[in-house]
A and B are shown apart, each in its own frame.
Chain A
Amino acid sequence: MTHSTRPPEQGETILSLKGVSKKFGAVSALTDIELDVRAGEVVALVGDNGAGKSTLVKVLAGVHQPTSGTVEFMGREVTLDNPATALNLGIATVFQDLALCENLDVVANLFLGHELNPLRLNEVQMEVRAWTLLRELAARIPSVREPVASLSGGQRQTVAIARSLLLDPKIIMLDEPTAALGVAQTAEVLNLIERVRDRGLGVIIISHNMEDVRAVADRIVVLRLGRNSGIFTPDASNHELVAAITGATENAVSRRTQRKAVEVEGPRV
């Protein structure tokens, strides 16, 4: 950690985005995004495919650089010009494509870029830490000394999540963390998100699963076509959320619900 190491206070704003835009050539992936994340808070980012959720996460992870706008971290304006900067500040990310090295084993992947004892790797200590961390996540990894290529999708996702926790981050971003997970594992990840929040970390979670989102989120931020499209609390109705996501009260989802309702009730006399 190169910057301030003091832990954020509960409720303090850790991360604040003002007018962040990102253009890929002629395409505006993000336009004037405003987002605040406070310590001890879970913010869910929802939106349709192509709404800019993953791009936003990549901007915050230092993978992409914003075209305009400012990012404030712990009250200070920061430039996230590469992933190492973001990691050193305390922004950890679980990417949608997980970003694991398939030719390395689980331990090597967990500690990649942050190995213990750089000139004489402390394999034993790293392996113990890996097992403990994976056990905390109730992970079912058969062996941490097998290459990641031999793991299933869910196991890889667990490894990626475990890696994000390793560096004691201040904020964790999870891009579709439960997409490849089983029932029990999903519950474990949701528990984990709550534990992480209770420790005073900020959490940003992207998910298409509204059930998961409602279960853990304190705020739901909706993106649509790269713009802010509303902020909701978890008790907002499904109808409101879908309307914000699709941009219309009259949409494919509402029409389908209506049709189903009619079918169940039977034609009115």
Chain B
Amino acid sequence: MSEAKITPLDRADERVRHDDTIKGAVLAFVDRVRSGDLGMLPVAVGLVVISAVFTSLNPLFLAPNNLVNLLFDCATVGVISLGIVCVLMLGEIDLSVGSMSGLASALIGMFWVNMGLPLPLAILIALAAGALIGAIYASLFNWIGMPSFISTLAGLLALLGFQLYLLGTSGSINLPYASSMVKFGQLLIMPAWFSHTVALLPGIVLLWSGLGVARQRKTVGLTAQPLSMLLVKVVALTAALEFAVWYLNLGRGVPWMFGLFVLLVVIMNYALTRTKWGRSMFAVGGNREAARRSGINVKRIYLSAFMLCSTLAALGGMLSASRLASSSQQAGTGDVNLNAIAAAVIGGTSLFGGRGSAYSALLGIIVIQAISNGLTLLNLSSSLRYMITGGVLAVAVIVDSLARRSRAAHGRG
């Protein structure tokens, strides 16, 4: 009996290697990557390559102010991409997010500028329109069994048509430059002290929750992550964030709009990893029938994912309208759709469902926007930019498919 007390519950099987030390953590990471669980690795490699190439071609690329602009651009499509993560998680897709974002920007222009409704009300209407469209896709999927690929493809055209109809008479509506909305999208920057304080928060939260979990695990007889590992993580994270903030503050600083995007990512990450809803999302994406037999209301999960996706697409559309200070017929067309989807996939959310994270939207969109920003700095025409971005998307999907095969071979789902 005393032996059982000495061996913690989760250390009874001697066949498992436990990676408690820093060396062990590195070993475990190598193992994971080899078995096809790539995580954030493609993004890290991608960013290093992109920075190296573009800086050698135009040193301005890494200038603080260029990076600040980059972050402004990231926030708009990034928010759309965050919604895409939700539907990809279920193995579904929403091809109409670009049109939805364009429609939302048209709605803002029409209700706020043309009809003079208060801004918050106009924003609410646009968000509600997004939620409604998402609910329609989910109903088509749940009750008629229409593949999301088709219903959202139809939506892509229909929503674009509606957007053109709304803007038909004028072609575009300019948003007032002095308004808070346009300032938010173009100018508003966090004060330096504030951004530095915010950059401390993740480390503090990680430390606090890590200590809490460790204490809890010890009291119930499970092993806990060693304190040294936790401290290394906290210090590394805080140092990286503080450095990034310091560098951006050499230029204009951290945009509030990017702050909003990161906040949404953090909330989504919590919802996906720490709530019953998030667990159900992974389950439905991994094995729909098993999820149903576990008593999960599968239809409601699909409904929530499609609604979130379209609503976030509407929000992203409004952010991009504020960035451009106009609602135009071009808003949401072109590469917005594919950039949003590509960002999620590049960041590590699988197209096949059941794998992904909210952070993939954040990291993926930084890669995508870095490429597009770098190519713009080189004065390349949009024809070349499309081709190169298309190539990057193809590479991302190939990596995803190969990694999936490798995971299956190594028994990692």
Contacts and interface: CB of A to CB of B under 8 A. Distances in A.
Interface in B265-303: 274-277, 279-280, 282-283, 285-287, 289-297
A81 to B, nearest CB: 12
B300 to A, nearest CB: 11
B91 to A, nearest CB: 11
Interface stretch (A36-44, A69-77, A147-155, A211-219): A147-155
Contacts of A132: 9
A61 B293 contact: yes
B276 A83 contact: no
Contacts of A95: 293
Contact of A127 (B10, B293, B294, B410): B10
B233 interface: no
B59 interface: no
A100 B12 CA distance: 24
A120 interface: yes
Given A103-B285, A120-B275, A150-B412, A113 B222 contact: no
Given A103-B286, A120-B274, A143-B10, A128 B220 contact: yes
B354 interface: yes
Interface residues on B, range: 35 or more
B276 A115 contact: yes
Nearest to A111: B279
B5 interface: no
B16 interface: yes
B3 interface: no
Contacts, number: 118
A171 to B, nearest CB: 16
Task: Name the residue in A101, A104, A132 with the highest tally of chain B Cβ atoms < 10 Å from its Cβ.
Answer: A101
B221 interface: yes
B350 to A, nearest CB: 9
Nearest to A112: B294
A131 B10 contact: yes
Interface in A115-129: 115, 118-121, 123-125, 127-128
Interface in A130-174: 131-132, 135, 140-145, 147-151
B226 interface: no
B412 A149 contact: yes
Contact of A124 (B217, B274, B283): B217
A119 B275 contact: yes
Given A95-B293, A124-B216, A124-B217, A118 B13 contact: no
B411 A149 contact: yes
A121 B279 CA distance: 9
Contact of B293 (A63, A102, A114, A128): A63
A87 interface: yes
Contacts of B293: 61, 63, 83, 93, 95, 99
B104 to A, nearest CB: 29
Nearest to A95: B293
Given A108-B279, A131-B10, A149-B413, A84 B221 contact: no
Interface in B215-259: 216-217, 220-222
Residue of B13, B279, B293 contacting most chain A CB atoms (<10 Å): B293
Contact of A112 (B221, B277, B296): B296
Interface in B46-65: none
B23 interface: no
Interface string B392-407: 0000000000000001
Contact of A121 (B274, B287, B407): B274
B270 to A, nearest CB: 9
Contacts of B213: 123-124
Nearest to A131: B9
B411 A99 contact: no
A141 B291 contact: no
A88 interface: yes
Given A103-B285, A113-B280, A131-B10, A124 B412 contact: no
A88 B295 contact: yes
Given A99-B289, A131-B9, A124 B297 contact: no
A123 B13 CA distance: 20
Contacts of B407: 149
B355 interface: yes
Nearest to A143: B16
Nearest to A63: B293
Contacts of B289: 99
B411 A150 contact: yes
Given A128-B222, A143-B10, A143-B13, A103 B279 contact: no
Contacts of A84: 295-297
Contacts of A151: 411
A143 B12 CA distance: 9
A132 B221 CA distance: 11
Contact of B355 (A103, A112, A143): A103
B221 A128 contact: yes
Given A124-B216, A127-B222, A115 B297 contact: no
Contact of A101 (B216, B282, B295, B297): B282
Interface of A: 61, 63, 82-84, 87-88, 93, 95, 99-104, 108, 112-115, 118-121, 123-125, 127-128, 131-132, 135, 140-145, 147-151
Report the 5 A-B pairs with minimum CB-CB distance, sorted nearest first.
A149-B413, A118-B276, A103-B286, A113-B294, A84-B295
14 contacts: A93-B293, A99-B287, A99-B289, A99-B294, A101-B290, A102-B413, A108-B279, A113-B283, A115-B279, A118-B277, A132-B9, A135-B9, A143-B16, A147-B412
